[in-house]
Amino acid sequence: MKRVMQAPLFKALFGSRGNTVVTLLMVALFALLLPGLVRWMFGHAVWEAANRAACRLADDGACWAFIRARFALFFYGTYPEGERWRVHAGLALLVVVGTGTLFSHRRRGAWLLALMTVVPVADAVLLAGGMFGLAAVPTERWGGLMLNLVISFVALGGAMPIGIALAFGRRSTWPVIRYGSIGLIEFWRGVPLLTVLFMGLVLLPLFLPNGVNVDNLVRALVVMTIFTGAYMAECVRGGLQGVERGQSEAALALGMHTTQVQLLVVLPQALRLAIPGIINIAVDLFKDTSLVSIVGLFDLMGVVGQSLKDPAWTGLASEGYVFAAIVFFFACLVISLGGSVLERHFSAVPRAGKS
């Protein structure tokens, strides 16, 4: 008994009177909520039914048959069934090269180059098709989680160079570049994402000459990329400021150009410092991709919202949104875990300037 009372967990839960009260309150709260939730999610849930009417037999259970029936729609949108291997192949390519970049020690440069060039091009060809004997799949058929992933990847990949350029621009000694960068960053950070998405969708067509059509998805991609780039710039700038002056002074003393100093000495260290912030942006970005459903693209949230309008399944909002929440949670968990692997990986190198 004494050993139990000295265990850290026990102390944390019942160490003081206040802690005990809070613990008991939380236990009571869970006891109140959990049984109902578990009964709804599992106990009384219906897993097989042709439509909502068949599900309604178990009134207080979740109708997971709805999710099962539309599973493919949630993940691929209306991407043609026979072509879905292309989505898998594209994802596999991204995962393989991404993992290679993370874990390769000697050839990381080559892997990174592949990640920035080969993967986007190959994936674009795979998904869009229209060449190399692949049937063309127009973007309005892309949807579901796949669309969230595409937007996240493109926006993050595009935002990195934009962010780095703007971060350096903001530290530039040339007023034009400095104030230009500041203006751009502050504009894009000062406007809600939803507003710029609407502007991209609604205003852009009015400026373009009639008949020139920019794909809806491309518009969303451009907007999301620049938007993320502005945030990325501030994150990278934080990293740049975190690199000690001694680093660049030492490099200059070795006879390196200013450009070399910045690109080869300062930037790598700055990016390492910026990793937690970048991961944060990536998670944020991934969740923000669900906003595109408001401008008429069918991402996961869009497909869920739309599935609720099928008369065969109307009224299953809880199931749809709970499912979307679970998918988003696990996807963000993967990003966070990947980020912490990245962080640990890089901090294996002794921190610059610290001894």
Partner 1 sequence: MTSLPARALRAGRLVLAAGAAVFLATTVAQAQVSAPPGPTVEAIKKRGALNCGIDTGVPGFAFQDNKGVWHGIDIDYCRAIAAAVLGDPEKVKYTGTTAAARFTVLQAGEIDVLIRDSTLTFTRSTVLGLDEVAVNFYAGQGFLVRKSVGVTKAAELQGATICTVTGATLELNIADFARSTGAKIGTLLFDKPEEAIAAMEAGRCDGYTDDTGSLAGMRSTLKQPDEWFVMPETISKEPLGLHIRSGDARWQKIIFWLDNALKSAEEFGITKANADQLKASTKDPFILRLLGAEGDTGKALGLDEAWALRAIKVAGNYGEMYETHFGTKALNLPRGQNNLYTKGGLHYPLPIR
Which residues contribute to the site for partner 1 (CB under 8 A)?
A: 52, 56, 59, 69-70, 72-73, 77-78, 138, 140, 143, 198, 201-202, 205-206, 208, 210-211, 213, 216, 293-298, 302, 305-312, 314-315, 317
Nearer to partner 1, 143 or 169 (CB): 143
Pairwise CA distance, residues 77 & 146, whole Å: 8
**Min dist. Cβ of residue 129 to partner 1 (A):** 16
Token pair 């942006």: residue:
281
Residue placing its CB nearer to partner 1 in the complex, 146 or 275:
146
- For residue 275, CA distances in Å to 186, 235, 266 come to 22, 9, 15
Query: Closest separation between CB of residue 97 and partner 1, Å?
Result: 30
What DSSP letter does each residue of 260-285 carry, written as one string? HIIIIIIHHHHHHHHHHHHHHHHHHH
Q: Name which of 234 and 319 has its Cβ closer to partner 1.
A: 319
Based on CB atoms, which residue is closest to partner 1, 109 or 296? 296
**Would you say 225 and 154 are in contact if contact means Cβ atoms under 8 Å apart?**
yes
- Which residue's CB is nearer to partner 1, number 164 or number 322? 322
**Residue 311 amino acid letter:** P
As measured in angstroms, the least distance from the Cβ of 317 to partner 1 is 4
CA 74/CA 79 separation, integer angstroms: 11
Rounded to the nearest whole angstrom, what is the least distance from the CB of residue 44 to partner 1 in the complex? 14
Nearest-angstrom CA–CA distance, 46 and 59: 10
User: In the complex, what is the shortest distance from the CB of residue 117 to partner 1, in angstroms, rounded to a whole number?
Assistant: 31
Q: Give least dist CB 59 to partner 1, A.
A: 7
Nearer to partner 1 (CB atom), residue 315 or residue 353: 315
Mark out the alpha helices in the chain (DSSP H runs): 2-6, 8-14, 17-38, 52-55, 64-69, 71-76, 84-103, 108-116, 118-128, 144-171, 175-190, 193-198, 204-207, 216-242, 245-253, 258-260, 267-288, 300-307, 317-347
Nearest distance, CB of residue 124 and partner 1, angstroms:
20
Q: How far is the CB of 11 from partner 1 (least distance, A)?
A: 44
Got the DSSP string for 210-224? TT----HHHHHHHHH
Take residue 304 and report the two structure tokens written for it. 């869920």
Q: 75 vs 231, which CB is nearer to partner 1?
A: 75
Nearer to partner 1, 284 or 310 (CB): 310
